[in-house]
Amino acid sequence: MTALSNEDSPVYIRLRATIAAGILRGDYAAGDQLPSVRAFAAEHGANPLTVAKAYQSFQDDGYVEVRRGVGMFVLPGAVEALRVAERASFVDTQWPRIRGYIDLLGLDVADLLEREGV
């Protein structure tokens, strides 16, 4: 699981990243209902079964609950738990690749952090 996905990631991972970013940005707060599978699929040009798989992963991880016949809702504490998980994923998975690329290009991390807009 990672909010930072790339074009090589499976579609459900990219969809999951979109949903996770929405939760972390506050688009979906605790108690908020996520868009229906069909609506989200239509909005993103995805197969509803693929969206369902992404949504199921949030349910499996305990970030959302399904209310039968109503929809899927963000659980209390989900934002904080998701942020912790995403940070760990970034540090363990993304950062080593980013750092390796920085080193490969001979860039200085401090110089990058000082650039405007960072």
For the chain, domain boundaries: 11-114
Contact present, 26 and 109 (Cβ < 8 Å):
no
For the segment 12-48, what is each residue's pLDDT rounded down to a tens digit? 999 999 999 999 999 999 999 999 999 999 999 999 9
Burial class (CB in 10 A: 0-12, 13-18, 19+), 83: middle
- CATH topology for 11-114 is Arc Repressor Mutant, subunit A (1.10.10)
Which neighbouring-strand residues pair with 72?
66
Contact present, 11 and 50 (Cβ < 8 Å):
yes
pLDDT of residue 8: 76
Note if the pTM is more than 0.85.
Answer: no
Q: What is the DSSP letter of 108?
A: -
Contact present, 51 and 41 (Cβ < 8 Å):
yes
